[in-house]
DNA sequence: GTAGTACTTCACAATATCATGAAATACTAT
DNA sequence: ATAGTATTTCATGATATTGTGAAGTACTAC
């Protein structure tokens, strides 16, 4: 009787721990974070996370066995993706718990931004107000597939890699707000650094698309209509 | 440059993984679940989770190092508690993710309830409506400290251990709804089994106090005013 | 002081997880 | 068939985690 209760509890907590184990490894967390942005192939994931191919494959297997992600084979490629939107949400809640509880997270971020001379007073709410009012040019610096999968309405897409080449596409008079995948993605930090070096007034929006969506705002999908934004209200 | 980005990412994901590691062990999860119900001493936790004392102490240390719980020493006793309400919330989101993604969780629960002959059609929303309308006697079968720390308004407290002795305190004509800590706590299951064997009409409410609170309902705190509930509206 | 209680730490063997390179598999194009 | 590409699996040594019993610490009561 009591033994059966114990067996039940043990079995249940073992199941919960499967998910804990899946997210107990930094590489797996990075892969999960990348997959929150959209489906990827094994190679793309390995490259972005800086991992070996065999390693990546094994970590993905572990995530799949915890049912956090799913795989789909198209010809030669295997495309991994989130098993469910809930997993994204769970990852975000892990992230915010870590921010809240672990001073180290805040400290590491502060050091990094300082070293990149990017410790501007990023007035988040103020920026958001400007963004909503259309008073700034909103720039999405993620790879274009990600932009196509979903972006802030009115944002223009210039992937970080093309930024130096395409500076002419950006208006010089207006402030620029760059965003990427979220607070721990470095793309927007680098973009702002480049833009400032070229004389633009640029800021970084900490939120990524996922966070934006999680706050209840809509995303736009597909190609942008024109590379140069009109001055109409954007969001 | 790229190296510095990598170092930053690695450092950040390592921090996130600290929390993952903390919740990657079934015993630690059980301790965390218990602590969601309220503060406990090491001995109480060890006993409830069926763990050795040394083991419990070490697991608690691990949880503390991930800043999920905190300890306070009063004289001879060390009382552990949740570091923050957010941690409870995170635990609940882990639990619901596991329910959603892992068929095994549902299967294990189904088997357990079946083996306890408790697989009644527990019409959750219907029960909740009855509970709100005060059409049933609501029975809290958790230890009385937990009742005192917070319970459903109008619920009466009879800890499972005292239930057999105190059956006279329960009205025979009305339906009884027993609840405990939540869907994976066995107290209410056992209570319903005892009550049914004694001729009562009893059901189990899957929600625990935490879930109830998370749904936005208020809890009552302190002692109950009378051991026998009046027939007025309760919630 | 001594005894007793609550808890922590240590040492350790059993087990699990890790990342890596090499081999195997699965599929496409020719 | 053959070559080539994407991915998985295997084998392995290095490292980390697990739970246990024994020893140590911290505090209280007398």
Report the CATH number that the domain containing residue A124 is assigned in CATH.
3.40.250.10
Residue A140 and residue A210 in one domain:
yes
pLDDT per residue over B53-99, tens digit each? 999 999 999 999 999 999 999 999 999 999 999 999 999 999 999 99
* pLDDT value, residue B227: 46
Residue B8 and residue B64 in one domain:
yes
Residue B80 and residue B18 in one domain:
yes
- Per the residue annotation, which of A36, A88, A180, A185 is the catalytic one? A180
**Which domain does B206 fall in, by range?**
115-214
Residue A122 and residue A82 in one domain:
no
Pick the closest to residue A18 from B34, B106, B59, B29 (CA basis): B29
Does some domain include residue A225?
Answer: no
Whether residues B17 and A4 touch (CB distance < 8 A) is answered with no
**Is the shortest CB-to-strand distance from B78 to strand C under 7 Å?**
yes
Does some domain include residue B101?
Answer: no
Q: How far apart are CA A221 and CA A171, in angstroms?
A: 23
Does some domain include residue A175?
Answer: yes
Question: Is residue A180 annotated as a catalytic residue, yes or no?
Answer: yes
Residue B153 and residue B203 in one domain:
yes
Does some domain include residue B93?
Answer: no
Q: Supply the CATH number for residue A83's domain.
A: 1.10.10.10
Residue A126 and residue A210 in one domain:
yes
Is residue B114's pLDDT more than 80?
yes
Residue A79 and residue A158 in one domain:
no
The C1' atom of C13 and the CA atom of A120 lie apart, in whole Å, by 54
Edge-to-edge, what's the strand order for the sheet holding B137-140? B156-157, B137-140, B176-179, B202-204
Does some domain include residue A192?
Answer: yes
Is residue B119's pLDDT more than 70?
no
> Torsions phi, psi of B125, nearest 5?
-65, -40
Residue B83 and residue B127 in one domain:
no
Q: What percent of chain B has pLDDT over 70?
A: 91
**Is the shortest CB-to-strand distance from A70 to strand C under 7 Å?**
no
Residue with tokens 């596991």, as numbered in its chain: B98
The answer, as to whether pTM is greater than 0.75, is yes
Q: How far apart are CA A184 and CA A207, in angstroms?
A: 10
* pLDDT value, residue A98: 98
Is residue B104's pLDDT more than 80?
yes
Are B159 and B145 in contact by the 8 Å Cβ rule? The answer is no
- Report the range of poorest mean pLDDT among A93-97, A148-152, B22-26: A148-152
Nucleotide nearest to B80 (CA to C1'): C7
Residue A144 and residue A55 in one domain:
no
Residue B200 and residue B155 in one domain:
yes
Q: How far apart are CA B18 and CA B28, in angstroms?
A: 13
Domains contained in chain B, number: 2
Torsion, Cα B153 B156 B159 B162, to 10 degrees, reads 180
Length of chain A: 235
Residue B60 and residue B6 in one domain:
yes
Does some domain include residue A95?
Answer: no
Residue A206 and residue A120 in one domain:
yes
Among A20, A89, A96, beta carbon nearest to B29: A20
Does some domain include residue A104?
Answer: no
Does some domain include residue A221?
Answer: no
Within 8 A by CB and 6+ apart from B129, the residues are none
Nucleotides of C under 7 A from a protein CB: 4-10, 17-23, 26-28
* Residue in chain B nearest A6 by alpha carbon: B50
């Amino acid at each position: 009787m009591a033994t059966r209760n114990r067996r039940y509890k043990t079995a249940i907590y073992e199941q919960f721990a499967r998910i804990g184990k899946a997210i107990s490894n930094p590489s797996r967390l990075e892969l999960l974070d990348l997959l929150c942005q959209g489906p990827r192939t094994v190679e793309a994931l390995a490259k972005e996370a800086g991992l070996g191919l065999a390693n990546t494959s094994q970590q993905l297997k572990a995530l799949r066995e915890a049912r956090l992600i799913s795989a789909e084979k198209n010809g030669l490629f295997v495309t991994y993706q989130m098993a469910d939107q809930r997993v994204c949400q769970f990852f975000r809640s892990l992230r915010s718990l870590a921010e809240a509880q672990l001073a180290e997270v805040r400290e590491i971020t502060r050091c990094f931004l300082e070293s990149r001379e990017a410790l501007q007073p990023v007035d988040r709410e103020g920026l958001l107000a400007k963004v909503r009012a259309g008073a700034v040019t909103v720039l999405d610096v993620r790879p274009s597939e990600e932009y196509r999968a979903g972006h802030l309405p009115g944002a223009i897409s210039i992937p970080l890699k093309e930024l130096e080449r395409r500076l002419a596409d950006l208006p010089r008079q207006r402030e620029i707000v760059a965003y990427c995948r979220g607070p721990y993605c470095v793309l927007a930090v680098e973009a702002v650094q480049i833009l400032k070096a070229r004389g633009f007034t640029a800021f970084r929006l900490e939120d990524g698309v996922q966070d934006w969506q999680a706050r209840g705002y809509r995303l736009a999908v597909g190609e942008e209509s024109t590379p140069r934004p009109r001055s109409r209200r954007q969001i």
